Every structure is written in C-alpha cells, then in structure tokens.
Structure 1
C-alpha cells in the first residue's frame, strides 16, 4: 500500500501534525506500507535533510491561506499513483486543492486513491468559543459553509486520534456529514534509551538549573495555560522549597511569552527555549513530572513522550487523552482553571516519592498499551484499507 500525506509544512517548529507523521511512518514501513509527503516547504530547508521517507517539497506558499499554485498540478499528475491520501489539518489551501483535484480526476477512467482528512483537533469547539477568537470563529463559519464542509463531507472518511476528539468534532459545525468517522489512534516511537549525553545536552541548554524540577514542554501560548501554571506555582512556592519549574518551548519572544517571563520574575522558574534531540530527552528523563494545564490539546505528543520515559503527567481535562491517563493512574487530572492548576500541583507535592515513581511506571504502561507508534500504525492501516 502507498499513502500520500498532504501537509502545509514539515517544519518541526510547527508542532504536532508533522511530528505525528514522523512518528507514524517508520512503524507503517515495518508493515510494508510506503508513505510519501507533499508539503509547502523550501526544498533546501535544513529540517528536510534527516527524514528517511520521500518529501515532495514544492515551495513556500503565499498569504494567510497558504496558497501554493503548484499543488493542484502536482496532485493531478501524482494522485493516481497512491492507494490513499491523507489531508493533515484544516482551514488552509491544501484541503481545498485536494478536493478540487479529485473532482477533476473523477470523470476520467483512472484509479484514484481514497481520500481521508485528519483534523488534528481543528474541529474542536474550543476554537469557536475561546475568548479573543470571535473574528476567527466567524471566519471559520463562513469558510466551513463554502469550502471546508465539502472537504470533510466529500472525503472517504475523517480520521481522529482518540474517541474524545471524534465526539467533540460533532458539536462544532453544520452540515457535518462525514462518510465515516474513524478513531485511528495516535502514537509515538519509543524514546531513545537514556544516556549521560542527554543529561549533558539538557544541562548545556539550561545551565542555571540545579536540583529537581517539573517540566512544561510545549509552545508558550495562552491556549497552553502557561499563565495559570505560573500563578499556581508562585502561590504554592512562597517558601521557595518547591522543585524548579522549567518551561521549555518556542514563543518566549511573543507578546504573551514576554508577559509570562515578566510574571515569573523573582521565582524559581526557568525558560529553557525550544529543546530538541538529546536536550529534549534529557529534560524528560531528568524531570520529576511533566505538566500541561492546557485549555485545548487534541492529543499531546509531549504528554505521551513524557509517559514513555516513565514520568507521571499532570494535565488538564482538556487534553483529549485524559480519560486513558486517569483510568490507568498515570497522572493527575483537573480542570483547566486556576483552581484546577493549584489542586494538581498541590496533590503532586503532597505525594510520597514511592507514589510518584509508581505513577510514572503506570504512565509508561499506558504508553505501551495504548499510544505506541506500532499500535497506532496497525489501527490506521486496518481503518483505511
């Protein structure tokens, strides 16, 4: 079987979807499935040089819609070479282009791939209700009416990373009539085994750190609940006896990021910037626990990466895999509010070392049984065959 992934960019700074593709493809290759990617990237981009699978980088797009005029001609020529095509993400030109190309090809006597859409949480009602998104929400309603509803409803199926995402997607837009709703799961590759080089790399990236720490690793963005995390930490750390809070990820140079840096001043809070490679794994392995009080998280790759490293996860119930984590006692789950963040941190701090270690081992078991890339690959293949 040969699958084409269509995504706007494979730049790892873009977050989840491109990392999900990179996690999925090696496991599918072991099952005899070939994957290729078409993206709106500069063919000479450094981040494209390390992937083992074929990426057709057709050049950077223009404008907020990410319009790339080369995509439709490329699709018209190449779509018949694949058994399935998966559109990753919504609201941009690539979904429209695939729908238009499939319509143009459907009248010809040629074999065409099945087309699936993977929203990656972009049908979550949060984005229509969140404060500060009123204009974007109105734009989405109009875009849904004229373009995106056709992309979704004309596809052979919509792929979801977990059951929570599937159920939430039904609440947001109308008409919503997908031919199939398929919970294909999601997974990550097993983390590399711990080495001292990882520890060294993390210490080099975070030289001011000493002692134990709790790790936040994600974009510094208001959606991630960084403000309520910092406020909860400050409220509980009046005597400066808590583990250091390490906040790692891009976004410190944004207005929100600068506001968070100012809020954290005078406290044992370190902003480590974006961590990759050994530095990232060193941060996971060396942490007491991972924390993410997000207001919306479709899956949370970093959450599962922490679990795979046998770390308990402290998360809000807006991270869509919270049910699996709570049922397996692999972490602490509360509301995505200031009170919820306070309760999560307080509960963790009141646990014994033995309880913390046990919760981390539980988290690792949940990863192995539910969120490994091998299990997700089998599930995806069974759903789209």
Structure 2
C-alpha cells in the first residue's frame, strides 16, 4: 500500500504535526506500507536531507498561506499513484489544493485537523477568525465536507471542532495518536544531557518542551515557577524549544524581573538523544497550554515514565487524570501554580506511583503502533481500488 501525506511543511524545527507524520510513517514501513510526503517547502532546504521519508518539496511558496501553483499540477499528475491521501492541517494552501484536485477526480482522502478548529483561536484572535470566515465557505468548509473522513485524536478535540464555525459538515472519526517508544538507555541519556548543562547537576528539574509561543502558556509557567521557587531552592526549570515568534527575550526578562532567571534554563530545540536525555533528567513535565489537541511531547514524557503537569486545555487531560499519570489544572497563573505546589507536596512514593502510571498509560493508549493500526483501519475503510 502506498500512502501520500500532504502537509504544509516537513521542517522538524516548525514542530506541530510533522513529528506524528514521521513517526507513523516509520511504523507503516514496518507493516509494508510506503509513505511519501508532499509539502510546500523549498527543495533547497538543508534539513530535507535528514528525513528518511521521500519528500516532494514543491516550494518556495508565497506568504504564510503558502500559495503555490505547483501543488495542484503535481497532484493532478501523481495523486492517482497512491492508495490513499491524508491531509495534515488546515488554513494553508496545501489543504485547499488537495481538495481542488481530489474533489474533481473522486479520489478519497482524509483530513487530520490537528486541533486547528479549536474555538480557543476564535476567542483569542477574533480578527483572524473573522478573516477565516471570509473564505471558510468556499475553502476549508469544502475540504472537510468532501473528505472521506475528518480525523480527531480524542473525543474532546472532535466536540470542540464543532464550536468554531456555524457552517460545518464532516464525517468525523476519532483515531489513536501516539509516538515511538523512547530509547531504553534513559539513565545514560540523562547523564549526557546533564553533562551538556552542568548547572543542572544535583538539582531537581522540571521540563517544558515545545514551541516557545503564546498558546503554550510559557508566561504562566514562568510566573508560577517564580511563585513556588522559595519552596524548593534546588528546583530548576528547563525551557526547551524553538522561539518561533521572538517571544523568548520578553520571557527571559520576565524571569529576571521575578528573580528566577538563574534557575530558568533556555536550551533551544532538542532532538534525538538530547531530547530523550532531557525527559529522563527531569522529575516532571509541565505544559500549561491554552490549546493543545494532543501534544506529542506529553506522550513522549509519559513514555519515559515522566508524570505530566498539564492544563485542562490539553485535550487528553481526562485520560491523564483518570490514569493517575499526572496532575491537571486550569490554564491560568493560579492553576499552573497549583500544579507545581501539588507536585512539590507529593510524597516521593506518590511520585513513583505516578511515574509507573505514566508508563502504563503510554503503553495502553499512546504508542505509534496503536496510531498506525487505527490509521490503517481508516485507510482500508475508505480507500478505493486504483484505476488502471
């Protein structure tokens, strides 16, 4: 079976859906399914050589929307050579271009919304939402309406998607989502990470890993950490991730103003062993997001046996709470402070039980194997025989 994943960008530094796309492609290959990607990236991008999947990079494209006439012509020529097409994400040209071609040919496709219909965006950016309304009826609405399946990673995401636009029609399906099982040599990786950041040796570490951007609640975390810093003088906070919007300077100034800048460590984007080392060097993972449909980093933390301290806007919070794999609170400074205070108040034995629960939850619900099996069910349900 041959699958085409359509995505705006495959650049690992951009974060978002690409990590899940790459993970499931590896697992699909083990099951005998070939996955290729078509993107709006510039084919001269140096990072393309680091990817193991075949990538058809059709850029450069124009603007944030990614307008690119080559996408339609490429799909016209090649889409019939694939057994199924999966579109990742909305609001950029790759989804509309796919609809333009496949709605005409009748070839079935699925759409992963990846949280992009969450009503948080409507409340937080009303002007942007109004602009989206202007082209929703003739673009994204049709992309979803004509898809064989519109895929959500949990029930909360599916229900929230219905609240963004009154004009909404989709064949909704909830599928498993997950990530690769972390490396087994966690202790050695932790040592390597600490050696690279020696100021952390001998201290307790809380880890944030994700894009440095508003929706992740980074500012809430800085303030909450400052509020509890005197309760545990050996507690340090690692902020790992790319600064996509230039916000880091303001956040560092915020930490300095609160007097905790020497205990907040900005380590940039982590990949591979360095990322896994950070997970294993930490005692808990913290993500106070205002909006998160799933959160690959949450699943990765659980896979490392790391308790997760998350907001109730991370859409898998119910699963985490029910499993006893972490703590949950509102996405406010008070809520984030409560997460940290509750964590610090736990007895070491309770933290250990939470760690074991995190590992169990990962193996039960968030492995890439479960994701691939779930996605293959969708593909087999909707794929048509290719015409000669």
Cα 1:252–1:37, aligned 2, differ >3 Å: closer, same or farther?
Answer: closer
Which residue, 369, 373, 379 being the options, matches 2:364? Answer: 369
**Is residue 9–residue 40 contact of structure 1 (8 Å, CA) maintained in 2?**
yes
Which stretch of structure 1 is more off in the superposition, 313-322 or 225-234?
Answer: 225-234
From 165, 171, 181, the counterpart of 1:173? 165
Rounded to whole Å, the distance in 1 between the matches of 2:56 and 2:245 is: 31
- The runs of 5 or more residues in structure 2 that have no matched partner are 381-388
More displaced, 366-375 or 196-205?
A: 196-205
Q: 1:252 touches 1:261 (CA, 8 Å); kept in 2?
A: no
The residue that corresponds to 1:109 in the other structure is: none
How far is 1:251 from its partner? Answer: 1.2
For 1:103 and 1:214, the matched residues in 2 are separated by 48
Shift of 1:198: 2.5
State the alpha-carbon separation in 1 of the partners of residues 221 and 19 from structure 2.
Answer: 25
1:150-299 superposed matches below 5 A: 150-178=142-170, 180-194=171-185, 198-203=189-194, 205-210=196-201, 211-238=203-230, 241-251=233-243, 254=246, 256-265=247-256, 266-267=259-260, 268-299=263-294
CA distance in 2, matches of 1:208, 1:252: 26
Is 1:138 equivalent to 2:130 in the alignment? yes
Please list the CA deviations of residues 245-284 of structure 1 after superposition, one character each: whole Å capped at 9, or x if unmatched: 1111111871x32111011123122111111122111100
CA distance 1:310–1:240, shift in 2 (3 Å): closer
Runs of 5+ consecutive residues of structure 1 not aligned to the other structure: 107-111
Q: How far apart, CA to CA, are the structure 2 residues paired with 1:252 and 1:43?
A: 21
Cα distance, 1:366–1:240 mapped onto 2, change above 3 Å: closer
Aligned residues: 375
Residue number in structure 1 paired with 2:296: 301
C-alpha distance in 2, partners of 1:335/1:196? 33
Q: CA deviation at 1:207?
A: 3.5
Q: Tell me the equivalent position of 1:60.
A: 60
Secondary structure, aligned partner of 2:4: strand
Aligned CA distance change for structure 1 residues 381 and 173 (closer, same or farther; 3 Å): same
Measured in 1, the distance between the counterparts of 2:298 and 2:126 equals: 29
- Alignment partners' CA distance in 2, 1:237 and 1:182: 44
Partner of 1:129: 123
The question of 1:118 aligning with 2:112 is answered yes
* Distance of 2:244 and 2:64 partners within structure 1: 23
In the other structure, the counterpart of 1:40 is: 40
Are residues 1:329 and 2:324 paired? yes
Structure 1 residues 362 and 197, CA gap change in structure 2 (3 angstroms): closer
The alpha-carbon distance between structure 1 residues 161 and 253, as it changes in their structure 2 partners (threshold 3 A), is closer
Greater shift, 97-106 or 325-334, is seen at 97-106
Name the stretch that deviates more: 10-19 or 54-63.
54-63
DSSP-derived class of the 1:97 partner: helix
* Per-residue deviation, residues 323-372 of structure 1 (Å, max 9, x unmatched): 11101000000111121111110000001111111101101110000000
Q: Distance in 2 between matches of 1:250 and 1:202?
A: 18
**Using the alignment, how far apart are the partners of 1:329 and 1:167 within structure 2?**
24
Q: Residue 119 of structure 1 contacts residue 160 of structure 1 at CA under 8 Å; is this kept in 2?
A: yes
Q: CA deviation at 1:25?
A: 1.0
Matches of 2:271 and 2:277, distance apart in 1: 10
- Bigger relative CO (Cα 8 Å, ≥ 6 apart): 2
Q: Tell me, what secondary structure is at the counterpart of 2:5?
A: strand
Q: Which moved more, 1:29-38 or 1:301-310?
A: 29-38
Cα RMSD over matched residues?
1.7
| Secondary structure in 2 matching 1:146 | coil
Deviation (angstroms), 1:195: 5.3
After superposition, the C-alpha distances for 1:26-68 in whole angstroms (9 at most, x for unaligned) are 2222222221110122334332223332211222211222011
Q: How many Å separate the matches in 1 of 2:298 and 2:230?
A: 28
How far off its partner does 1:3 sit? 1.2
Change (3 A) 1:245 1:151: same
Task: Say whether 1:29 aligns with 2:23.
Answer: no
Distance in 1, matches of 2:233 and 2:341, equals: 13
